[in-house]
Structure 1
């Protein structure tokens, strides 16, 4: 348990956060569908799995849980209209199905309808005010919408509920990081890593804060770990490249920036980094 002195130093000033510049792109990690869809269910989005879930629904067409699970699978497969339809059915069959509201909220966000997403998260929390996943989902919605104080409050609530979901700590770490409170960010990213050691995003985030605090070795180790865990992570390659660049290893930096751009041709930090290393 944190001491009172430590707790009192965990000050969150929204105005300061909004004006803070991002050190690297690590402050935006774990925000897209690939990072978030895993939170709605363990069902996989393969065609075979969806077919199996459809067979379950055919046998029990009045079971809201079956629609909720298949909706999650459709969401993982990027089939958002079908996911929404299944969550709609689950809610129609069970109007108090707060998990289905939270799952549908996530798909609304991926579909670009933040108003409906917020409405569903609010409804889920009306039905169950202790549902940590809904606080985390709504908090991330607030974070991405530039409402950091509200996001922070939701992550704090989930953490006080003793959530075992690493996203609460990871996303709160991103807020601390954006505000320049890197010691607190490191603590949160490390907690997220302890809960999900195979996830690349917290390593990227922690590496950014290590670098901000001048700890280049630990930053480099975290960026390398992020790449090892997820070779398709454009941020990890760009972050690794930045360390090479700082060390004067421009050829290696250039290769890593190029790899980042292969994965995401529009990734700004990699574009500017590649330009710098080419001109050198």
Structure 2
């Protein structure tokens, strides 16, 4: 019974109905209070609907259940950061990374955190480590380019964007077009998918796994047109 409710919750979240997903996960936990899958997914979904304190409560319980689970700790770190508890978030990111030192996502997630708190050079270093571990990580390359751009490293940013574009199969119609050019018409957009659309189509192949990755909104706009 509870497993079917979890499946319904996951499907709801895949479709963007996170509030409905929370309801299914809660119902599953009422049926089986020890259903860790329901608890984990509810914690993630709660963060997406802005109920951060409730999300933190669930994540804290998860880390108490399994203190060596890097996924629990890493997502807990995200929720802590979203709740402006950055000192605690930093410690949680470090712990998750220590548990999975060869997982590129651990470096990418910490890099995004560092970017948001203003440690731009630290963010680049973490993205570079993520790319070293996974040279085909188009997301990390794009995000690194965004940080390099903030720091004024235009040549480096262009290289990062170009490599990321190459990996996802995105080919700007005019590579010399400035970033702040007028928004294309609907007719043009229908012919040439935006870089964000290309990235999103790749992200969603892994389904629910990706729905809480806080880097998912970094691809608004065509940052590859350099």
Q: Give the TM-score category using the shorter length.
A: 0.5 to 0.7
- Normalising by the residue count of structure 1, what TM-score does the alignment of the two structures yield? 0.54
Please, which of 73, 81, 92 is the counterpart of residue 30 of structure 2?
A: 92
CA change 1:174–1:82 in 2 (3 A) is: closer
User: For residue 48 of structure 2, what is the aligned residue in structure 1?
Assistant: 110
* CA 258–196 in structure 1, closer or farther in 2 if over 3 Å, else same: farther
Contact persistence 2:52–2:82 (CA under 8 A): no
| Equivalent in the alignment of 1:276 | none
The equivalences for 1:160-175 within 5 A come to: 160-162=98-100, 166-175=104-113
Superposition CA RMSD, Å? 3.5
Counterparts of residues 138-149 of structure 1 (less than 5 Å): 138-149=76-87
- Counterpart-to-counterpart distance in 2, 1:65 and 1:198: 35
**1:187 to 2:113 alignment:** no
Paired residues for 1:173-212 under 5 Å: 173-178=111-116, 181-193=119-131, 200-211=138-149
Partner of 2:183: 258
- Map of 1:218 onto structure 2: 156
Retained in 2: the 8 A contact 1:102–1:133? no
Aligned to 1:37: none
**Which secondary structure does the structure 1 equivalent of 2:158 belong to?**
helix
- Counterpart in the other structure of 1:101: 39
Q: What runs of 5+ residues in structure 1 fail to find an aligned partner?
A: 1-60, 232-236, 238-243, 271-280
Name the larger-Rg structure.
Answer: 1
CA distance in 1, matches of 2:18, 2:115: 32
Secondary structure of 2:78's counterpart equals: helix
Measured in 2, the distance between the counterparts of 1:254 and 1:103 equals 38
TM-score (norm 2): 0.65
Of 150, 154, 157, the match for 2:95: 157
Could you say which residue in structure 1 is the equivalent of 2:201?
none
- The aligned length equals 187
* Cα shift readout 1:91-120 (whole Å, capped 9, x = no counterpart): 234322333212101111111211211111
What runs of 5+ residues in structure 2 fail to find an aligned partner?
Answer: 197-217, 222-226
**Cα–Cα, structure 1 residues 214 and 78, in superposed 2: closer, same or farther, change >3 Å?**
closer
